[in-house]
Chains A and B, each alone.
Chain A
Amino acid sequence: AQRVTQPEKLLSVFKGAPVELKCNYSYSGSPELFWYVQYSRQRLQLLLRHISRESIKGFTADLNKGETSFHLKKPFAQEEDSAMYYCALTPSGAGSYQLTFGKGTKLSVIP
């Protein structure tokens, strides 16, 4: 069974400071990994996924298979980044499309 761990419940950073939201996963196969974000009073929405290797809103995430990690990073935090961030995994090539989520990290950017 797969598992996603986000060790920080809350992360507070000052505006302009670097941000790193940690995510570790456990899965015996090759997973697809995602970061979802939920802004205040809004729905869960996809931020980025590792297969796209893209940068969205200045955020990047690199899959490290050796460390089974998929940390989310941004060099300079903005106030509008304050939100709940969820790391999620789905098995690749296993015919399963369910997302397994971590508990989420609340990012608070202090002006």
Chain B
Amino acid sequence: EPEVTQTPSHQVTQMGQEVILRCVPISNHLYFYWYRQILGQKVEFLVSFYNNEISEKSEIFDDQFSVERPDGSNFTLKIRSTKLEDSAMYFCASSEVGGGADTQYFGPGTRLTVL
């Protein structure tokens, strides 16, 4: 069964550094998402992406964040200048079509630790 994959599984970085988190969505899916979960808190939506552009973003997704689909398979989340509070588990998800009834399939997550 196809799955969403994410790399790396764990990323440690220094405050102020740029990080890129990578995701490979399921191949025939058209909608892509990033969520994050700070330790002990709820999973929070960051951004959704369709047809090579952002379709929706939360207030968390400020100018420090960007997303890109650099080729036909990868979907990346870039944090330009990491802060301590960016430490979290970052989940990528994809869905075949949009719509509230569609299933979002999640990757295993990347744990980002900012020192």
Contacts and interface: CB of A to CB of B under 8 A. Distances in A.
Interface of A: 31-32, 36, 42-46, 49, 51, 86, 90-93, 96-104
A109 to B, nearest CB: 23
A45 B106 contact: yes
B100 A92 contact: yes
B100 A91 contact: yes
* Most chain B CB neighbours (cut-off 10 Å) among A36, A43, A51, A90: A43
Contacts of B108: 42-43
Contact of A43 (B31, B42, B58, B109): B109
A98 B60 CA distance: 13
Contact of A44 (B48, B56, B101, B106): B106
Top 4 A-B pairs, shortest CB-CB distance: A32-B100, A98-B45, A44-B106, A101-B43
Contact of B41 (A42, A46, A103): A103
A93 to B, nearest CB: 7
A45 B106 CA distance: 7
A46 B103 contact: yes
A43 B100 contact: no
B13 interface: no
B11 interface: no
B35 interface: yes
